Amino acid sequence: MSDPTSVTLNIGDKAVSLPVHRGSLGAPCIDIGKLAKESGHFTYDPGFMATASCRSAVTYIDGDEGVLLYRGYPIEQLAKQSSFLEVAYLLMHGELPTRTQFDAFEHEVTHHTMMHEALKTFLGGFRHDAHPMAMLCGMVGSLSAFYHDTLNLDDPEQRRLAAVRLIAKVPTIAAACYRQSIGWPIRYPRNNLEYTTRFLHMMFEVPSEPLQLKPVAAKALDLLFILHADHEQNASTSTVRLVGSTGANPYACVAAGIAALWGPAHGGANEAVLKMLEEIGRPEDVAKAVEKAKDKNSGFRLMGFGHRVYKNYDPRAAIIREMCHKVLAELGVNDPLLEVAMRLEEAALKDEYFVARKLYPNVDFYSGLIYKALGIPTEMFTVMFALARTAGWVSHWLEQQVDPEAKIGRPRQIYTGATPRDYVPFDKR
């Protein structure tokens, strides 16, 4: 029986038959939906190590083979031949656009890039040293207060429009958060520029002089956006879906995704990598860092190393590594941290501890060095990730809205607290 359509679970003298589902690719999944009803047992899987939470046709990962497909297209091909905006269309719609469809999408995104003027007042309310992720999370969450007239989630056109608005406005908000933090006036989006170049202008152009950008800057950023656009049911996307499962509006869902992304075990890793490289400081000190990362009592992990799913290599890391060398060379940046990063990668890949645990550089190991070379400050790295991942989040949210099997997400627990006991008044405690 190599290809069963069901499996039987024996619990005491009860046999429960559980269906097995197969997707178009990937491991079969045992459907335990009826288990509790039929056997009185729940399953326990902290961190969802072996649990699929939904059916999805957006992105496929084969962690053992280092494969990443967006809607079936290998990430290597998209990185080489596509653009972030085309990838956003692909993720949202399931197919690559025709030229006419792409032009219409680009036009629509471009004409939704303005943010409501009232958001400037909101932005001004943050402390001068607020972390841009905190600002982004609050600002994106607040969008639902501006578009509640188009939040009928039963209307496919309103859902689509919300997704377009998010893809269009997150870069404007992200750049505004940065400029607020450094005391620069907000730069309005320029519609004559394409998506990534427009973002760089909103970030770096000052009113007093035009911005001179080397083409490699927008190209590199666009590539990073493509590579970060989606990654199936990761922590932040699952958060978006969990919040979405309650019927909450898409702005609230994406704000929740931004909050989940912020953690150092997820999107916050790119910021943590750069801080780690700066702390190591010199190639000679790499060996010490590797030893510290192996010491469980040190509380230190090699940031940008390891991945829940990839146990061979992260295909995005290979692409970014190559781009990192190219960008630094073309921008004429001589960053000593690149040498530290390369030595660290080399040392860890040779070390039995990392080899045995299948720990490889992930997408964030080199991305920070590219951001740094582009002049993007460390605190903005996770914001960059959020900007790109918005395309994935809205695509998953759209998919969830028409999923006939979607239910409110409501995990169970193994209760370990006190058994029933009587209340004790203060004077008797």
Give catalytic residue positions. Answer: 307, 364
Using CB under 6 A as the criterion, which residues of the chain lie in contact with ligand ACO when the complex forms? Answer: 265-267, 269, 293, 301-308, 357, 359, 362-364
Which C-beta is closer to ligand ACO: that of 257 or that of 304? 304
Complex with ligand ACO: residue 143 or 320, whichever CB lies closer: 320
Complex with ligand ACO: residue 91 or 143, whichever CB lies closer: 91
C-beta closer to ligand ACO: residue 120 or 357: 357
Cβ pair 241, 233 in contact under 8 A: yes
Task: Output 68 or 88, the one with its CB closest to ligand ACO.
Answer: 68
Residue 373: CB atoms within 10 A of its CB come to 22
Shortest approach of ligand ACO to residue 304 CB, angstroms? Answer: 5
d(C-alpha 279, C-alpha 299), whole Å: 15
- At 134, list the tokens: 């905190």
Q: Which helix (H) or strand (E) holds 260?
A: helix 250-261
Longest dimension (CA), the chain: 80
Give, for 19, the enclosing helix (H) or strand (E).
Answer: strand 14-21
Which 3 state secondary structure label does DSSP give 420?
A: coil
Nearest distance, CB of residue 72 and ligand ACO, angstroms: 22
> CA-based angle 388:391:393, to the nearest 5?
105
SS3 215: helix
Distance, CA of 62 to CA of 74 (rounded, Å): 11
Number of C-beta neighbours around residue 301 at 10 A: 18
What's the Cα-to-Cα distance from 39 to each of 7, 21, 35, 52, 405, rounded to whole Å? 15, 20, 6, 21, 22
C-alpha closest to that of 167 among 122, 123, 230, 112: 112
Nearer to ligand ACO, 294 or 326 (CB): 294
**For ligand ACO, which is the closer residue by CB, 155 or 346?**
346
- CA–CA separation, 360 and 376 (whole Å): 25
- The stretches of 267-407 forming alpha helices (DSSP H) are 269-280, 286-294, 315-330, 336-350, 352-356, 364-373, 381-401
Considering beta carbons, is residue 285 or 330 the nearer one to ligand ACO?
A: 285
Minimum separation from the CB atom of position 366 to ligand ACO (A) = 12
The nearest distance, CB 228 to ligand ACO, in angstroms, is 8
CB of 74 to ligand ACO, least distance (A): 19
324 touches 369 (CB < 8 A): yes
Count of alpha carbons within 13 Å of 115, Cβ hemisphere only?
Answer: 28
| Closest approach of ligand ACO to the CB of residue 331, in Å | 24
Residue 360 contacts residue 374 (beta carbons within 8 Å): no
Q: Select from 224, 179, 180, 149 the least CA-distant residue to 387.
A: 224
Task: Supply 132's token pair.
Answer: 């841009």
- In angstroms, give the least distance from the CB of 306 to ligand ACO: 2
Question: Least Å distance between CB 308 and ligand ACO?
Answer: 4
Residue 387 in contact with residue 140, Cβ under 8 Å? Answer: no
- For ligand ACO, which residue has the nearest CB? 306
Match 């493509």 to its residue by tokens: 226
